[in-house]
Amino acid sequence: MSDLFPRPPGLAVFLNAGDPPFDVLDDVADMLDEHEVDVLELGVPFPDSISDGPVIRRSADRALAAGTDLKDALAFVERSRSRHRHLRVVVLADWAHTVRPRSMAQVITAVAASGAAGVLLHGAPPRVRPDFYDRAGAAGLPVVTTCYATSAPGIVAEAAAHASAYVYLVTHYGTSGSGPAPDQGALRAPIDALRTLTDVPVAAGFGVRTAADVERVHAAGADAAVVGSPVVACAEAALVAGRDVAADLGALVTGLRPHHSRSSL
């Protein structure tokens, strides 16, 4: 079983590689490690994501304008691995923008060599997923799979069968940064269904903005919460205002911790 979330409720946060710039992102990662954030989901930036709202789209556009690519993202992963005691980095790579122009073999080999704690393949059509699962397994690279709280049983079964890092349970349809707070009652059944199929952790995201939301997903049975748009928005606001991005994000992360977890930080 994956050990990415050793002390529930775990916390994963999302940022794009290259936004904030890598010198700042290095400081942010150090802060996340000090605050014992479990996972940084690091997006290899790509344009025009249909699943992302304007906050994350702006972030990806800034990173792409700065020339950020897969090589830059994986260099950051290697730096993080060498100096962080707690934080682990999962790479999110888009099929159309990052993988298809290269090859599945090249990308999986490079991500595994970086020391990433896992990989999430975004937007992969069904025909390429078996090759992805096989190559990641052969490389010893843990896989993050995804499904929705309302996904059909076959989709849930595929996610459970091939997850080796964790299952990312998306709480509702829509774009990131939109939609309601997680519904504890509505999440319990899909989380219970995953529990019957896999023993890897379940991390729930979309709509998670506050410590109360983190508590809700944990009370529904999830091992961790994933926070994306609020983190990206906080970094953006700090950059625009000329503030210390790591300090602002540190305050945000502290505020996301349920009260019973803060005393251990």
pLDDT digits (tens, 9 = 90+) for 41-65: 999 999 988 777 899 999 999 999 9
> Tokens standing for 208?
């998670």
Considering 36, 41, 215, 248, which one is annotated as catalytic?
41
Nearest to 70 by CA among 38, 29, 108: 108
4 located within any domain: no
Nearest to 229 by CA among 61, 46, 27, 59: 59
1 located within any domain: no
Provide the CATH number for the domain around residue 215: 3.20.20.70
71 located within any domain: yes
What local confidence, expressed as pLDDT, does residue 261 receive? 53
Domain boundaries, position 58: 10-262
pLDDT at 264 over 80: no
Predicted confidence (pLDDT) per residue in 13-51, tens digit: 999 999 999 999 999 999 999 999 999 999 999 998 877
52 is catalytic: yes
Q: Are the CB atoms for 203 and 239 separated by under 8 Å?
A: no
41 is catalytic: yes
pLDDT at 137 over 50: yes
> Tokens standing for 114?
């970086």
Considering 19, 36, 38, 52, which one is annotated as catalytic?
52
> Tokens standing for 235?
């970094």
Instruction: Give the three-state DSSP class for 137.
Output: helix
Nearest to 220 by CA among 196, 186, 250: 186
5 located within any domain: no
What radius of gyration do the chain's Cα atoms show? 17
Domains of the chain: total: 1
